[in-house]
Amino acid sequence: MFFRAWRLQIVVSVHTKIKMAEISAKLVKQLREKTGAGMMDCKKALKENEGDMEKSMEWLRQKGITSAEKKSGRQTAEGLVHSYIHTGGRIGVLVEVNCETDFVARRDEFKDLVQNVAMQIAACPNVEYVTTGDIPEAMIAKEKEIEMGRDDLGNKPDNIKEKIVQGRIDKRKKELSLLDQPYVKDQNMTVEELLKQTIAQLGENIQVRRFTRFVLGEGIEKQEVSFADEVAAQTGQKA
């Protein structure tokens, strides 16, 4: 009986070690990139939560371990103002990304981040704000008013209507927020996760402060000219 129990203990121990090896190989790097936490903290979080990524992230947040959150309150007075012109010269972006020191601002990794953020903005015509927290309350209230008046909600109870409207507003807020967008180069992560990954890599707080997106001819009504009129104008004749 003792031998069987001892043998079972060995099997369980070996299984646990194999399981931890699998966690280490597959998930630690991913968790570090998402949270900016240290390797040992990520291993411990995954062990405590049996490899569940979402629970491990929440565990780290509760422990106050996530690197990006620790650094989020630190002043960012350095950085870069960067311009990006999309192929063909029809879309342009001007973006300011801040960090803590001039040393990091000169790093290639930081410059790459800024370039990638600028490209992201160029690819996202609906994005208007850096975060959902930047969206004016007046705009949110107006959106809520519009949604509450939609015909498809007319016969629904008020509590159900409220939940549906809030869900639609939350979705709309994410559509307007840069950091909530799926990263154009890797759809499995958001721009915010890309930012956290770079914070973990460079060891400084990094913030996207502001941006402007330009589209050629935006807001200008283009005069419609028929093909016959265009030919006539070029030949100096009347159509």
Instruction: Give pLDDT, residue 69.
Output: 62
Cβ distance 205 to 100 under 8 Å? Answer: yes
Residue ranges, the chain, pLDDT below 50: 2-3, 6, 8, 10-18, 21, 239
Q: Provide the residue type at 68 as one letter.
A: A
| DSSP H stretches of helix in 96-190 | 102-105, 108-122, 137-148, 158-176
HSE at residue 11, side-chain half, CA atoms within 13 A, is 6
Domains and CATH numbers, the chain: 2-65 (1.10.8.10)
- Say how far residue 4 (Cα) sits from the centre of its chain: 52
Q: What global pTM score does this model have?
A: 0.66
Query: Tokens 């959150």 map to which residue?
Result: 69
**Among candidates 96, 31, 73, which has minimal Cα distance to 205?**
73
Q: Give the torsion through C-alpha atoms of 23, 27, 28, 31, to 10 deg.
A: -140
Calpha distance 186→178 (Å, rounded): 15
Instruction: Give pLDDT, residue 174.
Output: 95
What pLDDT, in 10s, does the model give residues 130-171? 999 999 999 999 998 888 888 887 788 878 888 898 999 999
Cβ distance 204 to 71 under 8 Å? Answer: yes
Cβ distance 181 to 190 under 8 Å? Answer: yes
What pLDDT, in 10s, does the model give residues 26-53? 678 788 777 767 677 788 888 888 888 8
Q: Provide the residue type at 66 as one letter.
A: T
Calpha distance 32→30 (Å, rounded): 5
